Structure 1
Amino acid sequence: MSLVINSLFFDRRRRKQLREGKLSAWARPHRVLPGFALTMGITVTTLSLVVLLPLAAAFVMAGGMSWAGFSEAAFSPRVMASYRLTFGVAFAAAAVNAVFGLLVAWVLTRYRFPGHKLIDALVDLPFALPTAVAGISLTAIYSRNGWMGLWLEELGIKVAFTPLGIAVALVFIGLPFVVRTLQPVIEELDRELEEASSTLGAGRFTTFRRVIFPLLLPPLLTGFALAFARGIGEYGSVVFISGNMPLRTEIAPLLIVTKLEQYDTPGATAIAVVMLAISFALLLGINLLHRWSRKRLGDH
């Protein structure tokens, strides 16, 4: 026991000497992991091989096309319609997930009820479920003869083979990103802040708007960005429920796959480059908004 106490005292003294500059560089404690230079080199190499090289190859292949050929492949009316559908529905589904994901994360974190663990486990189901299985299941449920589709058909609402069906699929696969991003932050919220706000006379809505929501905004934006990015590139769950009708329910990833099946690699690359550029610009804007919200929160 005395050895443990002496060791803790020695470590505390060494840390104090390091902060005050009284300990020479050679006497600094050895780290368990390698130093910055080695780990940074491994990080850059891994990212280059996994991310940068494939993206650079896409731009190089697109650069070999003439501008006329690139424009015809990437900006035809059919492709433009797929861009609008893909990004528009992905954005709408991510917005829905941001609202309901916040509610689900709050309930799972703040309340305990029968079946709590089961519902918490079900949130991760879209992570484990193959996307093709999800697409087939959603199509069977929301088709004209499906469990939900038959009831919705009587109300004049058609889900399968419409943009609404695509939104339903993207909400299904994107919800866990928002919930799992928010849960740790909600768990760390200091309830004394809520109690202090209530003591000062603030109502529930005011407490949420002025105290809780500013703290949840940065992780909420992160979850939104993750769900949005997943929705842009989603293929398996969407291809079944969308119906793949040109100019109506055809998504951009499907066009890329179609062109690859037709051995039109330059055309598929042109669409991929445009999607990559738009996705990067949108995610950059979301990240800048996230950074601004964190900075604004820190100033307060």
Structure 2
Amino acid sequence: MLGRGVAITYLSLVVLIPLAAVAWASGEGGPGEFWSAVTTPEALSALRLTFGAALAVVAINAAMGTLIAWVLVRDSFRGRGLVNSIIDLPFALPTIVASLTLLVLYGPGSPVGIDVAYSPVAVVVALLFVTLPFVVRAVQPVLMELDTDMEEAAASLGAGRFTIFRRIILPNLAPAIFSGAGLSFARSIGEFGAVVLVTGNIPFETQVASVYIFGRIEGGDIPAAAAVSVVLLAFSLLALVGMNVLQGRWLRHEG
């Protein structure tokens, strides 16, 4: 009982009370003020860009994260340990440093001849960088524990590689892929540091919701910042709850 009380108290102080304070600040002016704050042209533009980029990142991460995990688990090559370590670099690197790195690499005067800075593409690139590990690290342990006997049996019966992947491997990986994708989405819609430099934060073009919120705070409009924050919070919570529900259903089905 004591441990449970300490855990709940800590969770409340660190997470629940601050979130409740933001929700309270967003509703100080009533539902009308809340709706007005989240439906201004600039706010809607920032939200559309944020959710559009997040969905694109989820789709790319689901495919490429699964592929990278597959290569790390099923292929043997020199430098695999180094590549495996690099996957976690976005977790360790300060996001503002990531934004500066991407600006140098993909901005004006790019050493690789690719200039996507200050465009919506830069938003997607920045979010892909910071969310890369989620799907990879979710899928990798599942692949490591996956029994290959069924794959070998299917191959011996004449099944092709694509059929084996679609009918045997993918159903086992699906919960992990959805889990990583859900975390990628939640991280993407709230990311600030990685996009703040490389996107230029141009209203109606490259300004994402987190930067819009920062601008409202600098302008002293706390209720508007809180209102847009609540929208992001709600979608993040829905993504995480949906992810947990799907995982629970898969576990019950397997059981």
TM-score, normalised via structure 2 length: 0.94
Return the letter of the residue paired with 1:46.
Answer: Y
CA shift at 1:200, angstroms? Answer: 2.2
- Mapped pair 1:242 → 2:199: yes
Task: Name the residue aligned to 1:137.
Answer: 101
Q: Is the 8 A contact 2:103 2:198 kept in 1?
A: yes
Question: How far apart are the structure 1 equivalents of 2:235 and 2:182?
Answer: 14
Find the aligned partners of 1:219 and 1:162 in 2 and give their Cα distance: 32
Q: Which amino acid aligns with 1:276?
A: L
Equivalent residue number for residue 233 of structure 2: 276
**Which structure 2 residue ranges, 5 or more long, are not aligned?**
none
Are the equivalent residues in 1 in contact too, given 2:190–2:232 (CA < 8 A)? no
| Aligned residues: CA RMSD | 1.6
Shift of 1:271: 1.2
The answer for the alignment partner of 1:3 in structure 2 is none
- State how far apart, in whole Å, the 1-side matches of 2:153 and 2:4 are: 44
1:51-103 deviations in Å (ceiling 9; x for gaps)? 11111111122222133322222210110110111111012112111111111
Deviation of the 1:286 alpha carbon = 3.7
Higher relative contact order (CA 8 A, sep 6+): 2
Gaps of 5+ in 1: 1-36, 153-157
Contact 1:182/1:219 (<8 A) preserved: yes
Alpha carbons 1:217, 1:293 under 8 Å: kept = no
Separation (CA, whole Å) in 1 of partners of 2:250 and 2:116? 36
Give the aligned residue type for 1:59.
A
For the pair 1:198 / 2:155, whether they are aligned, the reply is yes
Larger radius of gyration: 1
> Given the two structures, how large is their TM-score scaled by the length of structure 1?
0.80
Could you tell me whether the CA contact under 8 Å between 2:34 and 2:224 is conserved in 1?
A: yes
> Does residue 64 of structure 2 align to residue 100 of structure 1?
yes
**For residues 222-269 of structure 1, what are the alpha-carbon distances to aligned partners after superposition, in whole Å with 9 as ceiling and x for unaligned?**
111111111111111111111111111111101111111122211211
Where does 1:27-106 land on structure 2 (aligned, <5 Å)?
37-106=1-70
Q: Report how far residue 198 of structure 1 moved.
A: 1.2
Q: Which of 249, 256, 271 is the matching residue for 2:213?
A: 256
The answer on 1:216 being equivalent to 2:173 is yes
Moved over 6 A (4+): none
3-state secondary structure, aligned to 1:269: helix
- Greater shift, 195-204 or 121-130, is seen at 195-204
Give yes or no for contact 2:27–2:227 (8 Å, CA) kept in 1.
Answer: no
- State percent identity of aligned pairs: 45
